[in-house]
Structure 1
């Protein structure tokens, strides 16, 4: 293995037939359409538009002619909608508040899910959520939503109860209040953004590493190196399945945390 590592390091430093591992530059791709214009589109923006179009088309086709006895496609769409409605919105917020915030939670879940899934689509191979703009925008939406929910529920006491929780001795507020400010109003949007962003970045880098190594071993080196290529190919396919699971889990975690923050904001003590 040491000889193999040495060989790969030497090959990677050569100019011809070299191994090019993935890097953070993958997330700054060149323009593919309308270069130099306000409508410049890279592979990532194309993935984002494709995911958005897919969400719109799927739900339009699945709901435009709904029947009492749903067909297979309508059933799949309804199952997706019911998953968010029952397992996230109503389960955490109750029927009244869950129905009230259901549109934004549903949009958030499926937007993240479809943009995450572009990372495993051949030819695109990068998640639409792999640049900070999308996770940050979604985190800001979640942030504004739970603050709005809290103010709407208790206009006078929301910030007071958030920063000065009941049951704490007044002398400890000098410690508790800065911590509550940090955890509630600063750390929440930051962690929402970074959790989604980092998972998509790491997933992309791992997939590219496996499949680029496969191409290098089998096509460039050949010979007995194809054995290692078969191994990296198998790992690549296994990690692709794992990334599909991660795409779903990250959409679920982001949406359920948003619902939890809303639930905390509309709690009776506020």
Structure 2
């Protein structure tokens, strides 16, 4: 099954029947659907480099993150300006508040580049859902979240094997002090939790939050458009309800900015915690 079709099936299975995959009849109000995450190609159609709107936004977000970080750090001054203060605060928050606080300074320095990349890339891709003209989070495609989860998964297994060798798998599944009778059951549960549930929950938590947030924003602004330009345009003053849906849309946009940052934080700190657990001698 082609990857876009598989991703659409996965999203549809999660959110249907709340957001139906259907065409909207002219003059009627229809809510958003997961089809929005799978638009038609706009560049390089029919080639391995085919880009649709969501993937193009992903490229723009990546370049924007790289450029902003470069501009923020290219000419650091002893007496910082406001931009440098803001950059130092955010970078310091990730460095000290997430990485060093979780892993300690020695191990934190080893994994700092990766965790910084995960945080800022996830944040940038999430925020595209609230930027006018873009207005869709590319992390809503489950493949993006899955890729980040696989990177986190491989990293903590690599860290554990490098620190403990194959003993890492014993440390991850066999809890000290567990009665011998139930030890096999506990070991199976720990193996499922560590090696299967972790990447699945990382993937679904990020994807479902950003998809739900996008659907909520799209619902508010589609309703605003419907009430103003369909209902009110026909002389029906019920169209003024659009003022309320627009206000809700603005409020939810602010909320989604917070959620975008929160999900980047959660994904990064969970990755750091998993690495720390892999490096630990035992539970």
Whole-angstrom CA distance in 1 between matches of 2:24 and 2:59: 38
Structure 2 residue aligned with 1:147:
157
Quote the offset at 1:172 in angstroms: 1.0
Structure 1 partner of 2:129: 119
Match of 2:253 in 1: 240
Could you say if the C-alpha distance between residues 257 and 65 of structure 1 is closer, same or farther in structure 2, counting changes exceeding 3 Å?
same
- Residue equivalent to 2:168: 158
1:177 paired residue among 167, 187, 190: 187
Equivalent of 1:253 in 258, 266, 272: 266
Name the CA shift for 1:176/1:13 in 2 (closer, same or farther; >3 Å).
closer
CA-to-aligned-CA distance 1:203-231 (integer Å, 9 cap, x gap): 11111111001110111010312221111
TM-score, length-normalised on structure 2?
A: 0.88
Which deviates the most, 128-137 or 169-178? 169-178
Q: Decide which moves more: 180-189 or 161-170.
A: 161-170
Alignment-derived partner of residue 19 in structure 1: 29
Equivalent position SS for 1:32: strand
Alpha-carbon shift at residue 56 of structure 1 (Å): 0.6
Kindly state the Cα deviation for residue 13 of structure 1 after the two structures are TM-superposed. 9.4
Instruction: Give the conservation status (yes or no) of the 8 Å contact 1:218–1:225.
Output: no
Structure 2 CA distance, aligned partners of 1:198 and 1:15?
28
CA drift of 1:268 comes to: 2.7
Residue 69 (structure 2) pairs with residue 69 (structure 1):
no
Is 1:205 paired with 2:215? yes
Confirm whether residue 218 of structure 1 aligns to residue 252 of structure 2.
no
What TM-score comes out, normalization by structure 1 length? 0.92
Distance 2:166 2:48 in 1: 44
Query: Any idea what SS the aligned residue of 1:187 has?
Result: helix
User: CA–CA distance in 1 between the matches of 2:57 and 2:219?
Assistant: 20
SS at match of 1:129: helix
| 1:14, distance to aligned residue in structure 2 (A) | 7.9
| Structure 1 residue ranges, 4+ long, deviating more than 3 angstroms after superposition | 12-15
* CA distance in structure 1 between the partners assigned to 2:109 and 2:100 by the alignment: 7
Tell me if the contact between 2:24 and 2:30 (Cα under 8 Å) persists in the aligned partners.
Answer: no
Q: Distance in 1 between matches of 2:231 and 2:144?
A: 39
Alignment correspondent of 1:46 = 56
Q: Secondary structure at the match of 2:138?
A: coil
CA deviation map 1:128-163 (0-9, x unaligned): 101011100000010011111111111142111111
Cα distance per residue 1:3-56 (max 9 Å; x no partner): xxxxxxxxx998332212101111111112222222221111111111100111
The aligned residue for residue 8 of structure 1 is none
- Find the aligned partners of 1:102 and 1:113 in 2 and give their Cα distance: 16
Looking at structure 1, the residues matched to 92 and 25 of structure 2 have their Cα atoms a distance apart, in angstroms, of 54
Distance 1:13 1:166 in 2: 57
Match of 2:240 in 1: 227
